Amino acid sequence: MIADRYDAFLFDLDGVLYRGDEPIEGAAGTVATLRSLGKGLAFMTNNSSRTPEAIAAQLTGLEIEARGDEVETSALATAELLRSRAVASAYVVGEEGLRDALAAAGLSVVDGNAADADSVVVGWDRGFDYAELATACVLIQRGATLVASNADATFPAADGLVLPGTGAIIAAIQTATGAHAEVVGKPNAPIFRAALDRAGGGRPLVIGDRLDTDVEGARRLGWDSVLVLTGITTKADLDSNDPPTYVVERLDRLIEDD
């Protein structure tokens, strides 16, 4: 079976383990079987809005065993990058997960009344409005850098449609300022390397539903990948150039005998 060839399994979440509020068939059993085989696991997401503990609790509620220390988010990767650069303050367009990660890394998270900030940091924000857009634009004009936790234009909803993601917010800010955001999350390497560390190292397999983030990020690192056709990507989207290592209809194909 595919699982025999790898030590660490790095799972994307939405579209792979669940869709909206519903678990995807086969996800819980696959994760449980990999654990029973002694494989290393990490749960990796570009969604910066929630804390690792909240994500682990959601997975557990869907009967998918997970711990907070197994979760790597784009918020954590962004916070670590800014900490390593000694960035002191950030104006955040984003939710709890991003704010908490930045504060835990020692950054001062400023509000909309701040006269300046070292960086404007953008993540998914369901309350994003014109006032936040205006503040971000003013701070960037005053010298703040623009950093994005990820650039996903959309994410899958439970009804099969797609909704605007962080990339849509970034596009508004970039259009208004002419600035170009530095993107930290998938498909860029830091989040993948951090997830592999959480899984205990070894030979990794990246499992996702998106060609542009999950599969592309694995390709850049020379890692193998699995595209699961339960999320954004369909067979019609596949291209013969740089294909994933495996394409499967269901996640439990990983643990089936070849």
Q: What is the CATH number of the domain that holds 223?
A: 3.40.50.1000
Domain membership flag for residue 68: no
Contact 118, 89 (CB under 8 A): yes
Q: What domain count does the chain have?
A: 2
Q: What is the DSSP annotation of 4-60? A: GG-SEEEE--BTTTEETTEEPTTHHHHHHHHHHTT-EEEEEES--SS-HHHHHHHHH
**Both tokens assigned to 217:** 């990020």
| Whether residues 94 and 173 fall in one domain | yes
| Whether residues 175 and 154 fall in one domain | yes
| Whether residues 16 and 36 fall in one domain | yes
Listed residues 119, 146, 181: the one ending a domain? 181
CA distances (Å), origin 245, targets 2, 211, 223, 248? 11, 12, 9, 10
| Whether residues 168 and 204 fall in one domain | no
92: containing domain: 86-181
The answer for residues whose C-beta is within 8 angstroms of residue 139's C-beta and 6 or more apart is 91, 114, 116, 117, 120
| Whether residues 99 and 172 fall in one domain | yes
Looking at residue 161, its pLDDT comes to 73
Domain membership flag for residue 196: yes
Q: Taking each helix axis from N to C terminus, what angle separates 52-61 and 96-104, rounded to the nearest 10 degrees?
A: 130
Question: Which amino acids are annotated catalytic?
Answer: 12, 14
| Whether residues 177 and 200 fall in one domain | no
Domain membership flag for residue 72: no
CA distances (Å), origin 18, targets 60, 178, 203, 240? 12, 36, 25, 28
Looking at residue 21, its pLDDT comes to 83
Listed residues 157, 181, 205: the one ending a domain? 181
pTM: 0.88
**Both tokens assigned to 207:** 């499992």
The answer for residues whose C-beta is within 8 angstroms of residue 15's C-beta and 6 or more apart is 24, 156, 208, 209, 210, 228, 230, 231, 232
**Both tokens assigned to 213:** 């983030």
pLDDT in tens, the chain (258 residues): 899 999 999 999 988 999 878 899 999 999 999 999 999 999 999 999 999 999 999 999 999 999 999 999 999 999 999 999 999 999 999 999 999 999 999 999 998 888 899 999 999 999 999 999 999 999 999 999 999 999 988 876 666 677 899 999 999 999 999 999 999 999 999 999 999 999 999 999 999 998 989 999 999 999 999 999 988 888 888 876 678 999 999 899 999 876
